Amino acid sequence: MPRLEGRANAPGSHWRKIMSMRPEIVKSWSALDEEMRFTGVLHPALKEEVRRMVAQHSGCAFCASLGKPAATYDDPRLAAAVAYGRALAEHPTSVDDAVWDEVTAHFSEEEIVELTAWIAFMFASEMIGGIMKLDPATPELFTMYTKWIQTGIDRYSLSAAE
């Protein structure tokens, strides 16, 4: 059971209900989430796979329940991004040279900045869920999240094709 109930009338997840107790924070936080998740130089599907890995290490059962990362990756770029996410989630203030070398072999400096900011933002979001001891997502929230992610990926792909 979560440590705080939050605002029962707030829409969405228990995380949102808790954060809605500070509407100015949740508004800005959600806007930044949307901006970082669905815009930028990195594809949102890559970011989501990295988020899934970070969620396995953040302590948030809700976040971890929104999808597990793949066991292996054929794409070396995706593999490097996910390994970087795992490394930062396990040791937030340092990264092994071998992991860093893989990231720099596959990503530009601009992409590394975006990826690092994404990982830090997601870890911070998920830490809140871990601290508040959020329950795993209900099937309804899982479906809602999956649709939201797919809509954002589709929107990104359309704008990239133009």
Backbone angles phi, psi at 111, to 5 degrees: -65, -35
CA–CA distances in Å: residue 55 to residues 20, 67, 127, 159, 161: 22, 9, 9, 28, 30
**Homologous superfamily (CATH) for 14-147:** AhpD-like (1.20.1290.10)
pLDDT in tens, the chain (162 residues): 889 988 888 888 889 999 999 999 999 999 999 999 999 999 999 999 999 999 999 999 999 999 999 999 999 999 999 999 999 999 988 999 999 999 999 999 999 999 999 999 999 999 999 999 999 999 999 999 999 999 999 999 988 887
Alpha helices by DSSP H, 39-96: 44-55, 61-64, 76-90
Number of Cα atoms under 13 Å in the Cβ half of residue 8? 0
Give me the pLDDT at residue 99, please: 97
Residue spans of the domains in the chain: they are 14-147
Give me the pLDDT at residue 135, please: 95
Backbone angles phi, psi at 45, to 5 degrees: -65, -35
Give me the pLDDT at residue 10, please: 84
pTM of the model: 0.94
Dump pLDDT digits (tens) for 97-120: 999 999 999 999 999 999 999 999
Give me the pLDDT at residue 8, please: 82
* CB distance 4 to 18 below 8 Å: yes
